[in-house]
Amino acid sequence: MLKELSIKNFTIIESLHICFSDGLTILSGETGAGKSIIINAVNLLLGSRASTKLIRTGDETAELEALFKITPESGACKILEEQGGKASEELLIRRIISRRDRHRIYINGHLATIQMLNQVTENLASISGQHAHQGLLKEDLQLTIIDQFGGLPPIRNKIYRLFHEMVPLIQKFRKLNNMRDRQTEHINLLEFQKKEISDASIKPGEDAALEQERIRLKNGEELYSAVYSSIEELYNANGAVVERLVEVKKNLDKATAIDPELTSKAKELSEATFRIEDIAEELRTYLKIIPLDDKRLEEVELRLDILTRLKRKYGGTLEAIISHFETIDHELFRVENISDQIKDIETKLAKLYGKLSESALELSSKRSQTAKLLAKKVENELASLRMSGTEFKISLQSIPASDNSDPHLVVKGNIINETGIDQAKFLIAPNVGEDLKPMAGIASGGELSRIVLALKAILAEKGSVETLVFDEVDAGIGGSVAEAVGKKLSNLARYHQIICITHLPQIAKFGNSHFRITKNVSNGRTITSICPLNEKDRIKEIARMLGGMEITQTTLDYAHEMLQSSV
């Protein structure tokens, strides 16, 4: 159950803290005071998406915090343990919405993701407001309600798992069959690629070496001329560098006789002369290997063209070509064994189909029985909510398979999807003598509110959700109908914590605890506050809800009488 709720800088709420108890808690106040803002805060703490628009004007962050009491055997506790948390009787959820930074979620003090939050809070609380009323008109939710009432989620979940296990196999099965249809063409292509790459006899780095050789071949004469001229200048020509260095060396030798300090310089000059002679000899050797072969140039350019074409086809580099060549044998083996793969998948699909079709038919049969029982219980609940004579039926239909339907997802001529073979539609005739029509097109706001309450009351007997929150449950109703709704909420509060926002005193009088929400202006800012009401304050609040602008003694006496009658 929800024990505490704290809200800070959220829309028009500056700071607010509420301590909840079990039983029926009433939240009341003038229209626009901020009652629904509290519901929005709870929704966010249960996993709804956050927006910076919810931050109070002038503030950088909004902070929401909720403390829940949970049991060790609860689903929330088990999920916390699976996520590495410790079992505890309390669950603290905190959300920070920021204008500048990323929004943050904390579960028991540890940073968490929105997915983790949704898993932990899945069965903590159920909120029924405008969105729940509209959601009830959607057929997929109507099917879920049937399954929840009938205790059918285990078999529905089994179908979901089987369906999503089959779909990838079906896709692979189709792909392999398509490949088999063009198997010969594909094998021929792979074998051609293998021969083409094999015949090329590619060596790693070969293209770079050939490119360098091509440059030398194309510029052979220029290279020869430059190297030959360098040899002449260094060694062969009159006045060559070596000859001049020998003369310089002789002069230094004479100077050394005068100053021994020059001995080292003379020695270095001698070494330089020998080194230049070595360079000249190396250049002579290089001169002999300079390529001047036009035929070889043609061969190199032809080879480079072959490598360029292969690189263009198989990945852009020689390494990519070699890698592709290594995968061809594996691909050939796989393609050549497609028939075996198809047979293996057919066996798996047959086994899964047997389980899926059997489960889908079983679920459909149980849904049919459940739908009849649920419809009767809804009629009884609606009668207690002043809608006696209302006829409520549930239509279950299947989607017929077409010629394009996959046979692995068809049973008895009907398509199987992740929820089975059924589609549900709630039909209602609120007045005696009317034809049954889909609920979406006939139910008024007040009728829809009571249908939601009736279904909540029925499902509360089956579900594990401890906290039920009702907003707009009083939409379109009043008088004796409101009294009946209040009694229904009071009965539900014997088994669940109920939090109800209401404008009607006929509902508010049944509360075990009562909070008044007010909106005031302070220092030019709108501030929403909440105050727990004692018995005297409750009388005044009920009187306000009864009497409008001015509260008279008569109204106060009637409010006191109303509260006494609800005990």
Q: Are both 58 and 89 inside the same structural domain? A: yes
pLDDT at 369 > cutoff 60: yes
Q: Are both 114 and 213 inside the same structural domain? A: no
Nearest one of 424, 425, 414 to 360, comparing CA atoms: 414
Which of 309, 335, 361 is where one domain is finished?
335
CB environment 58-83: b (16+ within 10 A), e (fewer): eeebbbbbbbbbbeeebbbbebbeee
Q: Are both 221 and 284 inside the same structural domain? A: yes
Q: What are 236's two structure tokens?
A: 């062969």
Please report whether residue 222 resides in a domain: yes
Please report whether residue 106 resides in a domain: yes
Please report whether residue 313 resides in a domain: yes
pLDDT at 475 > cutoff 80: no
pLDDT at 131 > cutoff 60: no
Q: Are both 65 and 117 inside the same structural domain? A: yes
Arithmetic mean of pLDDT over the chain = 86
CA pair distance 66, 43, nearest whole angstrom: 11
Which of 311, 335, 359 is where one domain is finished?
335
Please report whether residue 59 resides in a domain: yes
Q: Which residue has the tokens 């009043």?
A: 478
Which of the given ranges, 69-83, 374-388, 515-529, has the highest pLDDT on average?
A: 374-388
SS (H, E, C) 2-34: EEEEEEEEECCEEEEEEECCCCEEEEEECCCCC
Domain of 107, CATH number, reads: 3.40.50.300
Q: Are both 213 and 313 inside the same structural domain? A: yes
**Contact indicator for 412, 361 with CB cutoff of 8 Å:** yes
- pLDDT score of 476: 74
Please report whether residue 140 resides in a domain: no
Could you tell me how far CA 407 lies from the centroid of its own chain?
31
Q: Are both 36 and 119 inside the same structural domain? A: yes
- pLDDT score of 567: 63
Q: By residue range, what is the domain housing residue 247?
A: 187-335
Give residue 481's pLDDT band: very low, low, confident or very high (50, 70, 90). Answer: confident
Q: Say what the pTM is.
A: 0.62
Q: Are both 246 and 302 inside the same structural domain? A: yes
* 82-91: Cβ within 8 A, 24+ apart: 83/116, 83/119, 83/120, 85/110, 90/3, 91/67, 91/120, 91/124
Number of helical (H) and strand (E) elements in the chain, helices listed first? 19, 17
Please report whether residue 433 resides in a domain: no
Q: Are both 199 and 262 inside the same structural domain? A: yes
**391 vs 138, higher pLDDT:** 391
Q: Are both 525 and 555 inside the same structural domain? A: no
Into how many domains does the chain fold?
3
pLDDT tens per residue across span 296-321: 888 888 999 999 999 999 988 999 99
pLDDT at 144 > cutoff 70: yes
Which of 314, 335, 356 is where one domain is finished?
335
**Contact indicator for 408, 353 with CB cutoff of 8 Å:** yes
Q: Are both 506 and 539 inside the same structural domain? A: no
pLDDT tens per residue across span 241-285: 888 888 888 888 888 888 888 888 888 888 888 998 889 888 888
Q: Are both 519 and 564 inside the same structural domain? A: no
Spell out the residues 6+ positions from residue 545 whose beta carbon is closer than 8 angstroms to its own.
28, 503, 504, 505, 508
Q: Are both 81 and 8 inside the same structural domain? A: yes
pLDDT tens per residue across span 387-436: 888 899 999 999 899 988 999 999 999 999 999 999 999 998 888 878 88
Please report whether residue 8 resides in a domain: yes
Please report whether residue 361 resides in a domain: no
